[in-house]
Amino acid sequence: MAGANRYYGPRKGSLQIWPRVRAKRMYSRIRNWSINGIKDTKLLGFLGYKAGMTHIIVKDNTPNSLNKGKNLSVAATIIECPPLKPLSIRFYKKAHDGLQIISEIPTTKVDKELKRKVSGISKKQNSVPESYDDVRLMVYSQPRLTGVQKKPQIIEVGFSGTKEQKLELAKQLLEKEIKVTDIFKEGSYLDVHGISKGKGFQGTVKRYGVKIRQHKSEKVKRGIGSLGSWHPNRVLYTVAQAGRMGMHQRTDYNRFLIKIEKDATKVNPKGGFMHYGLVKNDYLIIKGSIPGTANRPIILTDPVRPNKKILSYEILEINKDSKQ
């Protein structure tokens, strides 16, 4: 039976994501591509740059909504999406330890900015292999069009459909620019993959949400009361401890895409976005916040577990007040 003066409470610190490792690069890696409910053949991802946040006034036209017909103030993130350029078509074969690349067909047109990313690009034109199991497209971004970065990012994007349909679409796209309007539609849901802000070395209160102890506590206030029991005589990995925080790869599932727009004057605030500047290309307005700082590459994909809830927003006003 518990003593009268003994404190009991739930453990502190979420073990949902473990271990908390730092990302190796500034943009995410995608391990699988969702084809849930997609009937036509299309690319399943795109790369953009986080410009910043604002708030918009929308009219809620969602059926059966408690706020139907009312005007709402919604926080929104602006993601600038300059066109992507294909780099190569990759062919994969299933092996006992996963997919293995067996052939690659490069494009004949390569921007000079790509030399900032890779030293040498093969121009050898390989043929389509007789047998393959999957086709994917290597693409690179054009950050020079945004005015915030120079070095492009290279990602691999999957397709939906059969392998024959994938190859046919890949051949059509190999010498063309890919726009975000070719992949996503307004009013749909997206998975947003980004790298969170780096916080540096932090204590247990900020890192794990440990309760601050009373002022008469022994040794420290913003620390844990015990490292654990005597037996087992070791510190378990579940014990909250100080350490590096942030700079993690995270995925936000089912973010609602409110608007795809080309006219940047509708969203650019006076003086531009903080730490970013002015939006110059196609951009997305996504409901809510997403991981990462301004100017960070964000990968957008079709949802792995699609949300069945339907939202319908009509934008009435976009706040363009100076954020300086």
Q: Is the domain of 189 the same as that of 278?
A: yes
Q: pLDDT tier at 39 (50, 70, 90 boundaries)?
A: confident
> Is 301 among the domain residues?
yes
Q: Is the domain of 183 the same as that of 165?
A: no
Q: Is the pLDDT of residue 85 over 70?
A: yes
> Is 222 among the domain residues?
no
Q: Is the domain of 292 the same as that of 202?
A: yes
- CA–CA dist 230, 238 (Å, integer): 15
Asked if 175 contacts 47 with a C-beta cutoff of 8 angstroms, the reply is no
Q: pLDDT tier at 15 (50, 70, 90 boundaries)?
A: confident
User: What's the average model confidence in pLDDT over 54-78?
Assistant: 95
Domain of 280? 46-81+179-210+240-324
Q: Is the pLDDT of residue 14 over 80?
A: no
User: What's the average model confidence in pLDDT over 54-70?
Assistant: 94
Closest CA to 181 of 256, 28, 284, 64: 284
- CA–CA dist 138, 129 (Å, integer): 17
What is the DSSP secondary-structure string of 180-236? GGGT--TT-EEEEEEEPPEEEEE-HHHHH-PPPPPTT-SS-SSS-S-S--SSS-S--
Which strands form 85-95's sheet, in the order they lie side by side?
Answer: 98-106, 85-95, 134-140, 154-158
Q: Is the pLDDT of residue 18 over 90?
A: no
Q: Is the domain of 260 the same as that of 146?
A: no
Q: Is the domain of 185 the same as that of 291?
A: yes
Give the Å distances, CA to CA, from 141 to 137, 177, 288.
Answer: 13, 10, 24
User: What's the average model confidence in pLDDT over 12-39?
Assistant: 85
CA dihedral in degrees (154, 160, 165, 171; nearest 10)?
-20
Q: Is the domain of 194 the same as that of 136?
A: no
Q: How many domains does the chain have?
A: 2
Q: Is the domain of 128 the same as that of 51?
A: no
Q: pLDDT tier at 243 (50, 70, 90 boundaries)?
A: very high
* Region label for 95, one of left (φ > 0), alpha (ψ between -120 and 50) or beta (otherwise): beta
What is the DSSP secondary-structure string of 204-216? HHHHH-PPPPPTT
Closest CA to 136 of 177, 83, 95, 100: 100
> Is 13 among the domain residues?
no
- CA–CA dist 316, 53 (Å, integer): 17
Query: Which CATH number covers residue 288?
Result: 2.40.30.10
- Size (the chain), residues: 324
Q: What confidence tens digit (pLDDT) does each residue in 123-133 have? A: 677 788 889 99
Q: Is the domain of 204 the same as that of 304?
A: yes
- What's residue 181's pLDDT? 94
State the chain's mean pLDDT as an integer: 90
- CA–CA dist 285, 180 (Å, integer): 12
Question: What global pTM score does this model have?
Answer: 0.90
Asked if 178 contacts 86 with a C-beta cutoff of 8 angstroms, the reply is yes
Q: Is the domain of 170 the same as that of 258?
A: no
Q: Is the domain of 52 the same as that of 147?
A: no
What is the DSSP secondary-structure string of 272-316? -BTTTB---S-EEEEES--SS-TT-EEEEE--SS-------EEEE
- CA–CA dist 72, 80 (Å, integer): 24
Give the Å distances, CA to CA, from 86 to 27, 43, 242.
Answer: 18, 12, 43
Closest CA to 51 of 76, 73, 30, 83: 76
Q: Is the domain of 189 the same as that of 320?
A: yes
Q: Is the domain of 298 the same as that of 187?
A: yes
- CA–CA dist 276, 50 (Å, integer): 8
Residue 304's Cβ-side half-sphere holds a number of Cα atoms within 13 Å equal to: 11
